[in-house]
Copies of this chain bind each other. A is one copy, B any other.
Amino acid sequence: MTQELRSRVNADGTLELSLATVAVPELKPNEVLIRVEAAPLNPSDLGLLFGGADMSTAKVSGPTDSPVLTASISAGAMRAMAGRVGASLPVGNEGAGTVVAAGSTEAAQGLVGRTVAVAGGAMYTQYRCMDASQCLQLPHGTPAAAGASSFVNPLTALGMVETMRAEGHSALVHTAAASNLGQMLNRLCIEDGVPLVNVVRKPEQEDILRAGGAEYVCNSSLPTFMDDLVQALIATSATLAFDATGGGKLAGQILTGMEAAATSTAAEYSRYGSTRHKQVYIYGGLDRGPTELSRNFGMAWGVGGWLLTPFLQKVGPEAFQGLRQRVAAELKTTFASTYTKEVSMAEALQLDAVSVYGRQATGEKYLINPNKGAAPPS
Contact = CB atoms under 8 A, between A and B. Distances in A.
Given A83-B263, A290-B295, A292-B292, A48 B305 contact: no
A304 B305 contact: no
A291 B296 CA distance: 11
A310 B300 contact: yes
Contacts of A348: none
Interface in A222-280: 246-247, 252, 263, 266, 268-272, 275
B87 A269 contact: yes
A83 B266 contact: yes
A374 interface: no
A20 interface: no
B305 A270 contact: no
Nearest to A275: B310
A229 B299 CA distance: 26
A293 B291 contact: yes
B299 A306 contact: yes
A305 B301 contact: yes
Interface string A277-288: 000001101001
A186 to B, nearest CB: 24
A177 to B, nearest CB: 21
A194 B295 CA distance: 30
B268 A83 contact: yes
Contacts of A107: none
B304 A295 contact: no
A272 B272 CA distance: 34
A282 B305 CA distance: 17
Contact of A303 (B247, B292, B303, B310): B303
Nearest to A83: B269
A288 B294 CA distance: 8
A299 B305 contact: yes
A58 to B, nearest CB: 20
A110 interface: no
Given A292-B293, A299-B305, 7 more contacts: A82-B269, A247-B295, A283-B299, A285-B295, A291-B295, A292-B292, A302-B305
Interface of A: 47-48, 80-84, 87, 246-247, 252, 263, 266, 268-272, 275, 282-283, 285, 288, 290-296, 298-307, 309-310
